[in-house]
Structure 1
């Protein structure tokens, strides 16, 4: 019971003997308050430390509360609940657990009843027993005020902490030292230590502000991995600290389970100051995936696709120049043709592998290859022609012009 009390004084319908007894106890509020504080320190471990709530502060708070409750029971005018609200805010700011605050109130209410039993004539036992509910009602009113103020203060502090954290995260991604301070200090404030390097992750968000890696921060935290995330326009960006036992491959596997859109990863880097450049890499890598897909692309794993994504207009020109006649076909003719040729190129020119992958006869595969050669005037046996067609097919996929392989 570390707390005091607002509003007009309530005058419980008590037996006159209880009101008289409470009035007799009022002058001893200071002494009784110290006894309550001693009991709280004995029974609530948090208050025993006395490093946050000092002995003097707890003694004074308990004395105020004893005076308030006895005054209410005696029908005397008492201050409002403003002091109780101040106590609730102070305890929240001090970091006192709410459970400890409520435990203190329960101890205080119990001891006030004990004080009355000590002073009362034994013949009043039944009267005091009936008054127990009234004593608890006054104490509960006080504790409810403190709890409400405590929760309001905690919510406000949480809001401010989120704002500060979001500002630090944005400062790291933007490279703004005026916001994040020295990069190492900003990283430390966000919980990063000395791990095994960093990776920036960027996921497409078709709808601005809607996560496409839902709850990814918590998912990684459960693996002991520190990360920070922000939503910016059509992007969900994250800075992830790798650690021993959780490398970039483990990260890719976890992200693939969560992704609802295409995702890009930067190359691994050691200095957090490189975060802005790494975000550029990760966004390019994401754009190297097919629109609307759940592709996961690593910047340093698919350099050709990333190169094409970095020059979208030129990539589209490559598609039109190399594959223009094919895209004049109806989708029913065009899509199987493109899918077969891309499979053949990625399978190192193995007709057998393509036939098995696409469930086709080998002659069907050969027919489609010859047809594409005729349409675009290329010779797939020529490495230069094959490379141009392959790049054009990759560019077409980045622009969403190829059918889904599934």
Structure 2
């Protein structure tokens, strides 16, 4: 229907002349609008037959000037698709049967541009440029054929907009479906790569580097491995954490593996302390992390960090490097228990109070690197009391606290005691 007023329309005088006069006036209006429609169809046919290449060149030129993103699309691809979409628009206006080769071209263009990585807004901008070019061409044709001052004909040009909108709807649908498919394929690929990375054999740096690259990580740079005792139902916490990382441009990938959430984080701007801040949601859960400096150690880093998390008794984000003994005691229960029994068997003869005081002294010894003055300060005990208890520990354990090897044995034994308390 025309969006304007034709030169002939029924009025009160015609109605008063009787039903035949009114019917005649209505028929004249219909015929008049039909003539305008035929004029529009003729104009579309002229443009399709005589000016198609010119229209395509004009659209491509304007598109490249308006949107640099199309520099990544080849001339041939852009020219072929533009010719097809403009032809489709003009054929929609002519109401002629659309050939099979053109019927789905808008939909296919949407799919193609999604695969090429062109942003949807840029794709839609292309079709709106088509509309402007066609609109100007129809106006110029109207002037040439004496229709420039015909309001009824000009109102029929809304058909150009309607035909373009049909194309836009189809290209949007094609783009959406292709994007959903690509996202699904990418997600499935990354999940498979992630599992291969965690379950596959270590040692082949070429394979590990390729897997890390597929997950968008740089295999030549170190990254952090994170393990969290987080159930999949708490996905919203992971989303919040990932949003924070992504907002700062920090590469990350997380997925559930077994009963744990496992992830990788990579950025030169992130050190261990900053990572603790970035992963704030994980502090409420048993979690750990370690830095992976060599790509081929990714799997062992995950396994070791997972062992630490399994050994933890309370929530918190822990560095594996500061908790190796806890992880070792949990991973080697038979051996570590034997070491603890050998070192602390005489402690069983003490009263609960005396035993507790000596164990607290050992804890303070490791917390302060064995400095008597700091142990005294931390425990609110006199220095002589501290020296006396350290001497008692040496006597009961048979270890010298000034021998590095004996300190190492005591550290393993003490970690085992804490783990099993």
Q: TM-score, normalised by structure 1?
A: 0.70
Q: Equivalent residues in 2 for 1:5-404 (5 A)?
A: 15-28=33-46, 29-45=48-64, 46=69, 50-51=74-75, 53-68=77-92, 70-72=93-95, 82-120=104-142, 121-122=146-147, 124-175=149-200, 182-193=207-218, 195-196=220-221, 198-199=222-223, 201-208=225-232, 210=234, 226-239=251-264, 243=268, 250-257=270-277, 258=279, 259-260=282-283, 261-266=285-290, 268-270=292-294, 272-287=295-310, 290-299=312-321, 301-312=322-333, 322=344, 342-343=363-364, 346-347=367-368, 353-354=374-375, 356-357=377-378, 360=380, 362=381, 379-382=392-395, 384=398, 391=412, 393-398=414-419, 401=421
Question: Aligned pair in 2 of structure 1 residues 88, 172: CA closer, same or farther (>3 Å)?
Answer: same
Q: Which has the larger radius of gyration?
A: 2
Is the CA contact (8 Å cut-off) linking 1:351 and 1:366 kept in structure 2?
A: no
Question: Aligned pair in 2 of structure 1 residues 210, 317: CA closer, same or farther (>3 Å)?
Answer: farther
- Of 159-168 and 84-93, more deviation after overlay is shown by 84-93
* Per-residue CA distance 1:267-291 (angstroms, 9 max, x = gap): 6443x23322332233234445x33
Distance in 1 of aligned mates of 2:106 and 2:259: 47
Give the SS at the match of 1:296.
Answer: strand
Distance in 2 of aligned mates of 1:111 and 1:242: 47
Question: Aligned pair in 2 of structure 1 residues 111, 127: CA closer, same or farther (>3 Å)?
Answer: farther
Is the CA contact (8 Å cut-off) linking 2:40 and 2:156 kept in structure 1?
A: no
Is the CA contact (8 Å cut-off) linking 1:92 and 1:150 kept in structure 2?
A: yes
Q: How many Å apart are 1:47 and its aligned residue?
A: 5.0
Q: TM-score, normalised by structure 2?
A: 0.68
Give the SS at the match of 2:315.
Answer: coil
List gaps (5 residues or longer) in structure 2. Answer: 5-32, 402-406
* Per-residue CA distance 1:205-236 (angstroms, 9 max, x = gap): 24247467666666566666655443212323
Q: How many Å apart are 1:24 and its aligned residue?
A: 0.9
Q: RMSD value over aligned CA atoms? A: 4.5
List gaps (5 residues or longer) in structure 1. Answer: 1-10, 402-406
Higher helix share: 2
Give the SS at the match of 2:77.
Answer: coil
Q: How many Å apart are 1:242 and its aligned residue?
A: 6.8
Give the SS at the match of 1:202.
Answer: strand
Give the SS at the match of 1:230.
Answer: strand
